[in-house]
Amino acid sequence: MTLEEIVLDSRHLGTPEKLIVYTPERYSPLYSYPVLYVQDGEDYLAMGRMASLLDRMIREKDLPDLLAVFLPVDKQKRQARYHPDGSEHLAYRRFLAEEVVSYMDTHYSTETLGNARTLVGESLGGVVSLFTALAYPHTFGQIACQSIAMDSELNRRVAETVFAVPLTLYLEIGTKETNVASARGPLDLVRANEELRGILQTKMATLVYETFEGDHTWGHWQANLPRMLRTLFG
C-alpha cells in the first residue's frame, strides 16, 4: 500500500487542508476504483488501524481493490465542521463534495458513480457523513456511521429531507451507548439510532442496522471495521 499526504488549499474553508490518500498494492491507472472518504482520518489510521486492515482484507480477497481518503480534523474545529449547526459545517460539506472529490477524480483513477463513493465516520463524524450525503446525494451513494451522534432535532431534519436518489446506509450502535457525553450534553444514542432507523425505513434507502455489546469507544469501532467494510463491499 501507499499512504500519500496531500495538502489542498481549500477555497471553501479558506485554509490548507491535509488529505492522506491510501492506494492499494495493485493500484493501476488502467482500472477505476471505488473511494472511501473517512472523517476523523487520523483517528481511523491510528486507533482504527484502517490502512493495514484494508491491506489485509484486499489481500485476502475480502474486499475489492479500493482507494481511501483519510480526512484529518483539528479537534478544536471538529464541532464547527461536523455538527450541522456548526459555523464551518456548510463550507466543510462543500469542501468534501466539490474540492476533495474533484481532486481524487482528477488525480486518481476513480469510479465516478455516486454509489462508488462512501462516506465513513464515527460519532459526530457519522453526523457530517450523513448530512453531506443528504446534501450531495448524486456525489455520495453510501454512508457508514459507527455510533452516529444523532439527537431528536437532527433526526427531525433527516425526516424532513426528500431522498432524491436511493442511498445505502450502514449504521451500528453499542447497547451501552445510552448516556454519551457530548458538547450538547448527555445523549441517548441507542434511542436516537433506533429513531433514525425508523425514519430511514420510510425513505428511498437501503439500510443495514447492526448492534454490538459495548460503549462509545474506539476499541469497538476498530473491532467492527471488518464487518462494516464487508457489508459495504462484500
Q: Given this model, what pLDDT does residue 114 score?
A: 74
Q: Which of 144, 2, 150, 5 is nearest to 83 (CA)?
A: 150
The cell for 54 is 484494508
Q: Given this model, what pLDDT does residue 138 score?
A: 96
Rg of the chain over all Cα atoms, to the nearest angstrom: 17
pTM of the model: 0.97
Query: Which H or E run includes 81?
Result: helix 78-82
pLDDT digits (tens, 9 = 90+) for 75-100: 999 999 999 999 999 999 999 999 99
Q: Given this model, what pLDDT does residue 225 score?
A: 98
Structural domains present in the chain: 2-233 (3.40.50.1820)
Q: Given this model, what pLDDT does residue 1 score?
A: 75
What integer best gives the mean pLDDT of the chain? 97
Rounded CA-CA distance 199/94 in Å is 25
Mean pLDDT on 100-129: 96
Q: Given this model, what pLDDT does residue 113 score?
A: 82
Phi, psi (degrees; rounded to nearest 5) at 68 = -140, 140
- Give every CB contact of residue 231 below 8 A, 6+ residues apart in sequence: 144, 170, 208, 210
Q: Given this model, what pLDDT does residue 159 score?
A: 98
pLDDT digits (tens, 9 = 90+) for 42-82: 999 999 999 999 999 999 999 999 999 999 999 999 999 99
Please determine, for residue 226, whether its predicted confidence score (pLDDT) is greater than 90.
Answer: yes
Q: Given this model, what pLDDT does residue 115 score?
A: 87
The neighbour count for residue 85, using CB atoms within 10 Å, is: 10
pLDDT digits (tens, 9 = 90+) for 147-191: 999 999 999 999 999 998 999 999 999 999 999 999 999 999 999
Please determine, for residue 25, whether its predicted confidence score (pLDDT) is greater than 80.
Answer: yes
- Give every CB contact of residue 126 below 8 A, 6+ residues apart in sequence: 39, 143, 145, 146, 147, 148, 149
